[in-house]
Structure 1
Amino acid sequence: MKSEVILKVKKNFVNQYKKGYPLLSKDAIQNEKDLKEEGSLIKLVDDRNQFIARGYYGKQNKGLGWVLTNKDNEKIDQTFFAKKLKQAMNNRLHLFRSTETTAFRMFNGEGDGIGGLTIDYYDGFYVLSWYSKGIYEFKDEVLSFFQENVEYKGIYQKKRFDTKGQYIEEDDFVMGERGEFPLIVKENNVNFSVYLNDGAMVGVFLDQRDVRKTIRDKYAKDKTVLNMFSYTGAFSVFSAVGGATKTTSVDVANRSLAKTIEQFSVNGIDYEAQDIIVEDVFHYFKYAVKKELKFDVVILDPPSFAKTKKVTFSAAKDYKNLLKDTIAITNEKGLIVASTNCSAFNMKKFKGFIETAFQEVGKKYKIVEEFSLPEDFKTIKEFSEGNYLKVIFIRLV
């Protein structure tokens, strides 16, 4: 049985936690110094020592841990974890049964009731991501659920917290059978080549599934498509499958070339008919303007923060200017797919960036589609920052 620490919640935060806010913040706690070992259970109480909630201590970004239950009589044990995991799987049965999509999120942290843990499914293989040393202390409870309740080929894990080089499991493998990589998975009948044994990035971001499908089905046909910050070229592949006349993928990472070639190849697409460019995206904007290049569709999906030799980019500060650069190389009546996974601002503020960018360049636009996280990336209304993805399809008019 894990030890339990009683934490007093400051008066002005009590209602927030009673209503189900899940992230334990430093600002809310009176006696933070009582926290010693990550993985300890915590009991939140008010000034009169009345029970508020129970959770665990685990340092993650701005938080000290996560609330797991508001029921005083609910124990945080093997049964608790099994219940939450089973419920999450049941909620996604239609995805498990799909023959068109074989990669999706099976468990999405606080959205499914356990902050700090995500689990992704790749055609019989599962990847567990632990976001703090605290949640990693519950590894046995989670793995026991899989051993007792789930048919799986193999299980891999990613420690997304500072392990100070103490990475015990070779190539992230945990149990079951080792996969043969690349593993080919499907998303809406398009193939993706993934590597579950190759660090934090496996080769595709699953949260953009609905966006990729929409580009393929409604916007790519007979269009020239520019994919900026292209990573492994997933948007480019969907555009090509959707009938784009040509795709151009730009990313600064050297490995993006081979990875993008691979994604085109596993879909039977001639990669030599596409442009795959390894270059600083910010430099490519200048090059495109100089060469008077313009595109029908421009996909803009930068990281929240990026640093190249000459440019430091922060989505919260610099997205507006990125949009202005994008407008300059988009054809009249063209489409910009503006995307961000930055949780520091909401959809309303994101739309404000778009409004300002178009005002400053003296152009008009119309929003034609907008997306947040897909259904398998479950979120809760009490934690709006958990719904981090914001994607807006902008038509130049």
Structure 2
Amino acid sequence: MIEVILKKGKEKAAVLHHPWIFSGALDRIKGKPENGEVVSVWSADKEFLAYAYFNDQSRVALRLLEWNENTTIDKDWYAEKLKNAIAARQHVLNEETNTCRLVFSEADFLPGLIVDKYADFLSLQILSSGIDAVKEELIEILVNLLQPKGIFDKSDAGARKHENLAEGQGLLWGEHPPEFIEVKESGIIYHINISEGQKSGFYCDQRDNRQILAAYTKGKTVLDCFCYSGGFSLNTLKAGAAQVTSVDSSALAIETLQHNMGLNGFKQADQFSIQSDVNKQLRIFKEEGKKFDVVVLDPPKYAPSRSALDRAARAYKDLNRLGMLILEKGGILATFSCSGAVDMDTFKQIIAWAALDAGREVQIIKQFSQPEDHPVRMSFSEGEYLKGLLLRVL
């Protein structure tokens, strides 16, 4: 096996079981590994550190897999990792919920692999050259473990560019997914399309948070911003919200939400859908003097990297300021960030600035996080991307 030796003093991350080593930490390579090849990683003092995927096209030159030198990275190793990841999620799936994340990349010791279950179909994202090199083996293992109707490739994420991989999408195994797969989450039905576009039309990482928020909405007027396919809207209606207004800039999102409303038997009179830029619409509500009891702010990723943090902080602050201004006194604000570059302390500071600018006092009721099928390894805090706050705005 080809050996990669790190520079003196650059072994700390590997020793602490962090799964990334950046290209600047590499001293020399004994051989010429292919991108995606498994290599052994050694300290400058010739101590074995780990086995890793190698990629000289990525800033993350080494993605660490295994710290036991006596272990062989083969098909049995992959089968064990997949089996363990799937077994850990089995209790999430039941009569009320048939969709969840089965494999979450570094959190499950498979850096660059994401597997989502949508009823009888699987969606794969392959984001590293190492996983791409063993794709066929992984598909075979997943078929044996889960017997899905079909497996679809959603590896069109921009992350593949960092690994010098072409974007890809298409059927990998079995039946082609129908136009709409019917999934259930917490007893609510959604029709999603995983074979078109970059997204599935549904995010399962907000599963727990949707139910937590819904408990505060009975008899209330709710504004769901960036509503997408309607996860928060539908959960609040199920919980007895008096009226829900849903806003998204995407016509497809609004169409999907309205379709899902009908699937669940909710009356259109209880819900209003607005296709509009959220910030623009919040300003319109403010000018009109419109007030809500509950506001949900679940924007897309404003900070894809740390270099975008300052710009993202300004965007988050202005969005939350507007949300606070249209809340009734004592109203509830559920606000989120899915930017990994924004940690919880930073997010709280941003919300504090927004409250100051809005002239409102704010109490933190709960902190939101990602659900257990999106676990966070203690040695890899970067995996904690979703955070949020449930606030009372006075």
What TM-score, normalized by structure 2, do the two folds share?
0.91
**1:198 aligns to what?**
196
**1:213 aligns to what?**
211
**2:323 aligns to what?**
326
In structure 1, the gaps of 5 or more residues are 307-312
- Contact 2:111/2:128 (<8 A) preserved: no
Aligned pairs for 1:184-333 within 5 A = 184-216=182-214, 218-271=215-268, 273-305=270-302, 314-333=311-330
Task: Give the counterpart letter for 1:183 in structure 2.
Answer: I
Change (3 A) 1:158 1:288: same
| Partner SS for 1:13 | coil
Q: Tell me, in whole angstroms, the C-alpha distance in 2 between the residues paired with 1:94 and 1:199.
A: 30
**2:307 aligns to what?**
none
**1:132 aligns to what?**
128
Q: Which of 90, 106, 112 does residue 110 from structure 1 map onto?
A: 106
Q: Tell me, in whole angstroms, the C-alpha distance in 1 between the residues paired with 2:179 and 2:21.
A: 38
Q: Tell me, in whole angstroms, the C-alpha distance in 2 between the residues paired with 1:314 and 1:196.
A: 32
Task: Give the counterpart letter for 2:199 in structure 1.
Answer: M
- Contact 2:23/2:60 (<8 A) preserved: yes
| Partner SS for 1:305 | coil
Task: Give the counterpart letter for 2:138 in structure 1.
Answer: V
CA offsets 1:294-327 (integer angstroms, 9 cap, x no match):
1111100111239xxxxxx953442122211111
Q: Tell me, in whole angstroms, the C-alpha distance in 2 between the residues paired with 1:77 and 1:153.
A: 26
Q: Tell me, in whole angstroms, the C-alpha distance in 2 between the residues paired with 1:228 and 1:62.
A: 35
Task: Give the counterpart letter for 1:139 in structure 2.
Answer: K
Task: Give the counterpart letter for 1:277 in structure 2.
Answer: I
Backbone CA RMSD of aligned residues = 2.4
Change (3 A) 1:59 1:262: farther
C-alpha deviation, 1:344, in angstroms:
0.6
**2:141 aligns to what?**
145
Number of residue-to-residue matches in the alignment: 385
**1:309 aligns to what?**
none
C-alpha deviation, 1:72, in angstroms:
0.9
- Contact 1:225/1:297 (<8 A) preserved: yes
Higher mean displacement: 66-75 or 53-62:
53-62
**2:66 aligns to what?**
69
CA offsets 1:79-135 (integer angstroms, 9 cap, x no match):
110000001111122124x11110001111111111110111111211111113332
What TM-score, normalized by structure 1, do the two folds share?
0.90
Q: Tell me, in whole angstroms, the C-alpha distance in 2 between the residues paired with 1:330 and 1:238.
A: 20
C-alpha deviation, 1:33, in angstroms:
11
| Partner SS for 2:34 | coil
1:179 aligns with 2:166: no
C-alpha deviation, 1:59, in angstroms:
7.7
| Partner SS for 2:154 | strand
Change (3 A) 1:356 1:34: farther
| Partner SS for 1:30 | strand
Task: Give the counterpart letter for 1:143 in structure 2.
Answer: I
C-alpha deviation, 1:181, in angstroms:
2.9
C-alpha deviation, 1:62, in angstroms:
5.1
Change (3 A) 1:166 1:369: closer
C-alpha deviation, 1:58, in angstroms:
4.6
Task: Give the counterpart letter for 2:40 in structure 1.
Answer: K
Q: Tell me, in whole angstroms, the C-alpha distance in 2 between the residues paired with 1:332 and 1:31.
A: 62
Task: Give the counterpart letter for 1:101 in structure 2.
Answer: T
- Percent identical pairs in the alignment equals 30
Q: Which of 16, 19, 24 does residue 19 from structure 1 map onto?
A: 16
- Contact 1:60/1:116 (<8 A) preserved: no
Q: Tell me, in whole angstroms, the C-alpha distance in 2 between the residues paired with 1:316 and 1:61.
A: 27
Q: Tell me, in whole angstroms, the C-alpha distance in 1 between the residues paired with 2:218 and 2:348.
A: 27
**1:342 aligns to what?**
339
**2:118 aligns to what?**
122
1:157 aligns with 2:153: yes
Higher mean displacement: 129-138 or 73-82:
129-138
Change (3 A) 1:77 1:261: same
Higher mean displacement: 123-132 or 102-111:
123-132
C-alpha deviation, 1:61, in angstroms:
7.7
Task: Give the counterpart letter for 1:116 in structure 2.
Answer: G
- Contact 1:66/1:114 (<8 A) preserved: no
CA offsets 1:196-220 (integer angstroms, 9 cap, x no match):
211331111110000111122x111
**1:387 aligns to what?**
384
